[in-house]
Structure 1
Amino acid sequence: MTLPLNPALAATFIPPVMEARRWLSETTLPEGLALLNLSQAAPVEPPPAAMRAAMARAIEEDPAIHLYSPVLGNPELRAALAQRISTLYGGTVTADQVALTSGCNQAFCAAVATLAGPGDEVILPQPWYFNHQMWLTMQGVKTVPLATGADLLPSLEDCAALITARSKAIVLVTPNNPGGVEYPPALIRGFAELAARHGLALIVDETYRDFHSQEGPPHGLFADPGWDEVLVHLYSFSKAYRMTGHRVGAIATNAAHLAQIEKFLDTVTICVSGPGQFGALWGLENLGDWLAGERLEILRRRAAMVTGFAGLEGWELKGCGAYFAYANHPFDAPAPEVARRLLREAGVLMLPGTMFRPQGDPYGNPLGAREMRIAFANADTTEITDLMRRLAALGPR
């Protein structure tokens, strides 16, 4: 007997990273070349030793770390993150405007679950982070694609034209996954004002905020006294402190909205893991200098990518920042075929742009069919130089 299947789940595509892992199992790598895995933007190294030691002591000595925490998170961590946001952005954020979630993906899911229902619409710039689009599909919420220009930045005018009576939210990711671009502060403010005029939420996912190339606050929205009437801010500790497996993310919005989010979190996970919350708080309190060094290393790798693509025949770099580069490939084939060829002939695993755009025939999607996303954060500058050699050896054919 075949079990019943929720049609919304059936309509949701297979997770792209899982598909890429299947390619690995099916492909024989070229002899003499080690795999360059540039498919996923998750740190592969553990948190710094001092954090691990502090977490180990807490696990051993603090019985409360193994119990349920408050659904919206431990008060100490909520207060510390609120202070961090206030300091960084030059605004006022209080602990009751912050909640902890099991990773930033859950923060997005919780935000959408409280803002939109089946048949409602959420505007998503494309290329998009595929898990965002997957969750909207699972919930029966219509994804409204917002085109971006050659610079991968969305237009306020184009977005305004997409707003309908069913619209509930606009989503921005900056620094962007998959595009790598950093949205200018004036553009972010423009979207906040557009959302406010139409009674929509502006969801801003800043998972990669700690690796922004510019000094100072990435935008000024938190400096507005009424920021929480429009902004739903998402953050992740996973990338900053290399603690992806501990699943600690966060939402900042108004307290009334968090009361609704609490219903979602209590039903899905009840609370964030105790060791993860301890590690996030310890990181906020002790790893400022270490994180600044991590940022500088990512910026060095970003510079190596920009320099490398500038000398690479046929490739066109569209965006590069934080963990990602996004480029047009030079081959006469759709991006999924190019991805398989790169793995088979160059030992390089990257994801095709068709995974970050509306589904369909890649030949009928001229943008996605020419695009590749390169998650370079785990490749040091020596490996990035090697990447450029491998791509050059394939030529522009």
Structure 2
Amino acid sequence: MLVNPLLAATASPPIPEAQAWRAAYDGAFGPFVDLSQAVPGRPPHADMLEKLAEAAASAEAARYGAITGDRSLRETYAQHVSGLYGGRVRPEEIAVTAGCNQAFFVAMLALARAGEAVLLPTPWYFNHQMTLAMLGIEARPLPCDPEAGFVPDPETAEALVDERLRAIVLVTPNNPTGAVYPPEVIARFAELCRRRNLWLVIDETYRDFLPPEAGRPHELLAGETWRDNVIQLYSFSKAYGIPGHRLGALVAGAPVIAEITKVLDCLQICAPRTGQAALAWAIPALAAWRAANAEDINRRLAAFRAALAEVPEWGISSIGAYFAYLRHPFPGRRGRDVAERLAAERGVLALPGSYFGETADAHVRVAFANVEAEEIARLPERLAAFRL
């Protein structure tokens, strides 16, 4: 029997394939260094674990909750987001989802029909492209220039707008490139979307790891007009170290939330309630802990820069938050071949650019945030003598 051809044509999740490459490594260069997946490098705060255990033991967490999330979490998150962006976000303008991937899925289902199009900056996050493919929505590439640090250009985007385009997606800090989009670039995209009657969807999964001097990420939520065409996505997984609890958030105008509620009722009925209860406490209580984690991630970023300076043939095209996007030193060779051999022969696992829609396949993505600075410091030894 046949399955939905759109689903059958969608690429399989790539990370399991890459993880399998490690089986060929013989340990010659020491412990395997896994730079493939964006997983938190620290466990949750001890008090967070206690709150999770307390909530899990309650009868209330075992019951169904509100479709768009428990009121206590939505109120707390609304206050947090309002303070962060200098605007006013109401609890009714928030939907809690089972992870940020689900937030993206329901947003795309709400905004576009099969046969329409959504603009994705390339290199793109593969789950975004996979979602659009299985929904029959064109994932229209917005090429980002490596010479510009993979920051997308609004003028390039406008040239790709036609009657089928429904939305532009921005991911900042970016996965896979690590690029952090300047507030003025985000503002220009917002103006473009207002002028061309498009939705602007901004995924800020990694915003908690920007350095303090970065300031406010953007001004999108500072006024009132954002409700007409802006949707913001976020993940609680990285900042609180709880990816297994699958919790994300979507901010949008109340009319959009009403439509998204229909989708969420069919997909999840309610988001996992144990984590929701703990997060309602953690957002204000663990602010200092989150800031300390961000400092630690930025120390790892600095350590990674310093390590790669010893092997300049591996050029850093862009870096930020969790990720660095490296141009490998083997022109004409596929990034997939480079990554597979690097895992098997040097015990370092990175992901090839082809996983992220890069046709030239000249880069590999590394997720440095989940490895200690000491492991990062050993990378030059492994990379320096590597040859194809």
TM-score, normalization by structure 1? 0.94
In the alignment, the residues of structure 2 paired with residue 389 and residue 85 of structure 1 have an alpha-carbon distance, to the nearest angstrom, of: 43
Q: Which residue of 2 aligns with 1:344?
A: 344
Q: CA deviation at 1:336?
A: 0.5
In the alignment, the residues of structure 2 paired with residue 232 and residue 147 of structure 1 have an alpha-carbon distance, to the nearest angstrom, of: 22
Q: Which residue of 2 aligns with 1:110?
A: 106
Contact 1:122–1:142 (8 Å) recurs in 2? yes
Q: Which residue of 2 aligns with 1:375?
A: 367
The C-alpha deviation readout for 1:141-181, integer Å capped at 9, x for no partner, is 00110011121011111100111111110000000000001
Q: CA deviation at 1:44?
A: 5.2
The C-alpha deviation readout for 1:377-396, integer Å capped at 9, x for no partner, is 1111111111122112326x
Contact 2:237–2:246 (8 Å) recurs in 1? yes
Q: CA deviation at 1:29?
A: 3.1
> In the alignment, does 2:282 pair up with 1:283?
yes
Which of 150, 156, 159 pairs up with 1:158? 156
C-alpha RMSD over aligned residues: 1.3
Q: Which residue of 2 aligns with 1:174?
A: 172
Q: Which residue of 1 aligns with 2:219?
A: 220
Select between 196-205 and 42-51 the one with higher mean Cα deviation: 42-51
Q: Which residue of 2 aligns with 1:362?
A: none
Contact 2:18–2:340 (8 Å) recurs in 1? no
> In the alignment, does 2:228 pair up with 1:232?
no
SS in 2 for 1:377: helix
Contact 1:313–1:392 (8 Å) recurs in 2? no
SS in 2 for 1:31: coil
Contact 1:351–1:372 (8 Å) recurs in 2? yes
The C-alpha deviation readout for 1:176-205, integer Å capped at 9, x for no partner, is 000001000000010011111111110000
In the alignment, the residues of structure 2 paired with residue 278 and residue 30 of structure 1 have an alpha-carbon distance, to the nearest angstrom, of: 43
Contact 2:169–2:200 (8 Å) recurs in 1? yes
In the alignment, the residues of structure 2 paired with residue 43 and residue 233 of structure 1 have an alpha-carbon distance, to the nearest angstrom, of: 22
Count of aligned pairs between the two proteins: 384
In the alignment, the residues of structure 2 paired with residue 227 and residue 286 of structure 1 have an alpha-carbon distance, to the nearest angstrom, of: 29
In the alignment, the residues of structure 2 paired with residue 18 and residue 121 of structure 1 have an alpha-carbon distance, to the nearest angstrom, of: 29
In the alignment, the residues of structure 2 paired with residue 32 and residue 21 of structure 1 have an alpha-carbon distance, to the nearest angstrom, of: 18
> In the alignment, does 2:259 pair up with 1:260?
yes
Q: Which residue of 2 aligns with 1:314?
A: 313
> In the alignment, does 2:385 pair up with 1:393?
yes
Q: Which residue of 2 aligns with 1:135?
A: 131
In the alignment, the residues of structure 1 paired with residue 214 and residue 335 of structure 2 have an alpha-carbon distance, to the nearest angstrom, of: 35
The C-alpha deviation readout for 1:67-115, integer Å capped at 9, x for no partner, is 1110000011111111101101111111111110000000000100000
Gaps of 5+ in 2: none
In the alignment, the residues of structure 2 paired with residue 388 and residue 311 of structure 1 have an alpha-carbon distance, to the nearest angstrom, of: 6
Q: Which residue of 2 aligns with 1:28?
A: 25
In the alignment, the residues of structure 2 paired with residue 232 and residue 356 of structure 1 have an alpha-carbon distance, to the nearest angstrom, of: 23
In the alignment, the residues of structure 1 paired with residue 32 and residue 281 of structure 2 have an alpha-carbon distance, to the nearest angstrom, of: 35
Contact 1:317–1:327 (8 Å) recurs in 2? yes
In the alignment, the residues of structure 2 paired with residue 138 and residue 18 of structure 1 have an alpha-carbon distance, to the nearest angstrom, of: 20
Q: Percent identity?
A: 44
SS in 2 for 1:93: coil
User: Pairwise mapping of residues 175-214 of structure 1 onto structure 2 (< 5 A)?
Assistant: 175-213=173-211, 214=213
In the alignment, the residues of structure 2 paired with residue 232 and residue 32 of structure 1 have an alpha-carbon distance, to the nearest angstrom, of: 46
Q: CA deviation at 1:271?
A: 0.7
Gaps of 5+ in 1: 359-364
In the alignment, the residues of structure 2 paired with residue 226 and residue 313 of structure 1 have an alpha-carbon distance, to the nearest angstrom, of: 46
Select between 242-251 and 383-392 the one with higher mean Cα deviation: 383-392
Contact 1:208–1:322 (8 Å) recurs in 2? yes
> In the alignment, does 2:54 pair up with 1:57?
yes
Q: Which residue of 2 aligns with 1:294?
A: 293
Q: Which residue of 1 aligns with 2:248?
A: 249
TM-score, normalization by structure 2? 0.96
